[in-house]
């Protein structure tokens, strides 16, 4: 099967140029002008951009919580991702404390079998025991899992102690793997939460107030110190606070391998939403919480100067009815998370590229090329070049859209970007050489995503 895309403007993380692209079966087989067009299907991409398929390196589909599973499963979430131009995702294996990493991986692989995008996993280390180091090695060498997730928050559940994180880091160094960290001081959060609940302060606003910026930044500082001590590269997920990014930038300026990720919600929403009346305020309960406008400005600056490497979504939706509202009388019972897998590109294109906060090449870098490089998928993913997978987004810069839970494809009764206007959307999404989305319509469900072994 051959597919020729003509007349489009290719945008990579480094260059913007007019060129045709030839796809043969699942791969890009030629990039250039005047490619011979015998016996090929043709797509006219005149006036459109050609991006490498986007990679969302931080999603939680089918995540078990006391309020039930996150509302998108691998099929619905990955389809929503494709509608928005994301063709690969990295989700998580989250073993319960002392569960074998290997059996948790095998279970998770089955849960993900209906994914329509290609998918990989970060392995969460939720406790440390005598088998963990050995099992981490199996993850890297046999399963192609090259990144481990740790939580400084969620103490007593999946969070670990500093001495355990240090063991994870030491082992990761030996395995040439990356450690990713949710930086928030869990003990401090628990203390603040208890005080608020004790004095009858139960509204979502107190979720935000029990996760102040200093709780994140203090944890970032400690994690950077441990990473320096052990020589381990670290990736700070969902950086939300200015203070945190300042510390990350300081470490980067000394040459330390500290990567930073942020998410559209921290760039585009602020903490004023916690003053909305119930039940609306429930939907913004995420960790870390939304911050101030000043934090947003600093994060945009970080994207522009490159100190933030990746924009992912932390997609973890819950329905307002029946899930989020289980904490209507106690903010500690509200499941933490919100959806966003579908709108990352349109939001970042509209509010980043079109507002001149980042260049279009930086847009491609943070949504596709950088996550591919950081997480061991490059150049199979994240590039428009001969030999790369033919995961391609043909971006139409013209259409205007309004985001709404009524029209989105995420399986959730609410959307934190409700009413946001966007400009630009995928005209075509091509996954491994197959057109799966055309003019905002899913062609068929007759295709499957593949598990991504990373290097
Ligand atoms: Zn997350």
Each residue of 246-286: pLDDT tens digit?
Answer: 999 999 999 999 999 999 999 999 999 999 999 999 999 99
Q: In the structure, what pLDDT confidence band is assigned to residue 156 with cuts at 50, 70 and 90? A: confident
Note the pLDDT tens digit of each residue in 370-395: 999 999 999 999 999 999 999 999 99
**What φ, ψ does residue 346 adopt, rounded to 5°?**
-65, -35
pLDDT of residue 91: 98
pLDDT in tens, 290-299: 999 999 999 9
Output the pTM of the full model: 0.98
Q: How far is the CA of 57 from the centre of ligand 1 (A)?
A: 10
The CATH number given to 53-374 is 3.20.20.140
Distance 78 CA to ligand 1 centre (A): 16
Protein residues within 5 Å, CB atom, of ion ligand 1: 314
For ligand 1, the distance from its centroid to the CA atom of residue 72, given in whole angstroms, is 14
Q: pLDDT confidence of 174, banded at 50, 70, 90? A: very high
- Ligand 1 centre to CA of 453 (Å) is 21
Distance 104 CA to ligand 1 centre (A): 18
Question: 28 by DSSP, 3-state: which?
Answer: strand
Whole-number pLDDT of residue 43: 97
R_g (Cα) of the chain, nearest Å: 21
Tokens of 22: 């030839």
Per-residue pLDDT, 30:
97
For residue 348, what pLDDT band results from cuts at 50, 70 and 90? Answer: very high
Cα 60 to ligand 1 centroid, rounded to whole Å: 7
**CA of residue 58 to ligand 1 center, whole Å:** 6
Q: Is the pLDDT of residue 84 over 80?
A: yes
Q: What mean pLDDT value characterizes the chain?
A: 97
Per-residue pLDDT at 37: 76
Stretch (H or E) spanning 168: helix 162-175
Q: How far is the CA of 94 from the centre of ligand 1 (A)?
A: 11
- pLDDT band at residue 34 using 50, 70 and 90 as cut-offs: confident
The pLDDT of residue 157 is 86
State residue 401's pLDDT score.
98
CA–centroid distance, residue 219 to ligand 1 (Å)? 16
């Amino acid at each position: 099967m051959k597919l020729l895309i003509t007349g489009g403007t290719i945008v990579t993380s480094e260059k913007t140029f007019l060129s045709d692209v030839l796809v043969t079966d699942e791969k890009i087989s030629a990039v250039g002008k005047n490619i011979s067009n015998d016996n090929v299907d043709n797509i006219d991409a005149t006036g459109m951009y050609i991006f490498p398929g986007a990679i969302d390196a931080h999603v939680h589909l089918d995540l078990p919580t006391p309020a039930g599973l996150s509302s998108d499963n691998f099929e619905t979430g990955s389809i929503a991702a494709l509608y928005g131009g994301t063709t690969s995702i990295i989700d998580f294996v989250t073993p319960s404390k002392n569960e074998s990493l290997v059996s948790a991986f095998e279970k998770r692989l089955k849960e993900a079998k209906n994914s329509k995008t290609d998918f990989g996993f970060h392995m969460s280390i939720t406790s440390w025991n005598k088998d963990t180091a050995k099992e981490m090695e199996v993850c890297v060498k046999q399963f192609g899992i090259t990144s481990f997730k740790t939580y400084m928050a969620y103490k007593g559940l999946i969070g670990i102690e500093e001495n355990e994180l240090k063991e994870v880091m030491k082992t990761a160094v030996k395995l040439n793997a990356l450690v990713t960290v949710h930086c928030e001081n869990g003990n401090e959060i628990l203390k603040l939460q208890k005080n608020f609940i004790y004095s009858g302060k139960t509204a979502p606003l107190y979720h935000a107030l029990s996760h102040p910026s200093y709780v994140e930044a203090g944890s970032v500082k400690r994690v950077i110190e441990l990473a320096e001590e052990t020589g381990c590269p670290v990736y700070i997920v969902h950086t939300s606070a200015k203070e945190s990014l300042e510390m990350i930038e300081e470490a980067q300026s000394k040459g330390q391998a500290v990567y930073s990720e942020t998410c559209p919600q921290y760039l585009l929403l602020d903490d004023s939403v916690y003053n909305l009346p119930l039940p609306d305020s429930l939907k913004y309960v995420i960790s870390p919480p939304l911050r101030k406008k000043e934090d947003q400005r600093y994060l945009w600056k970080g994207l522009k100067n490159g100190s933030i490497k990746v924009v992912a979504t932390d997609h973890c939706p819950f329905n307002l009815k029946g899930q989020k509202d289980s904490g209507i009388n106690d903010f500690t019972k509200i499941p933490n998370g919100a959806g966003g897998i579908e709108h990352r590109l349109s939001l970042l294109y509209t509010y980043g590229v079109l507002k001149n906060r980042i260049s279009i090449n930086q847009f491609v870098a943070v949504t596709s090329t950088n996550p591919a490089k950081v997480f061991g998928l490059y150049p199979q993913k994240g590039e428009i070049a001969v030999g790369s997978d033919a995961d391609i987004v043909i971006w139409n810069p013209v259409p205007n859209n309004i985001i709404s839970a009524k029209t989105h494809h995420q399986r959730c009764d609410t959307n934190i970007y409700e009413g946001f206007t966007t400009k630009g959307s995928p005209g075509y999404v091509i996954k491994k050489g197959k057109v799966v989305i055309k003019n905002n319509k899913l062609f068929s469900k007759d295709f499957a995503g593949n598990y991504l072994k990373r290097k």
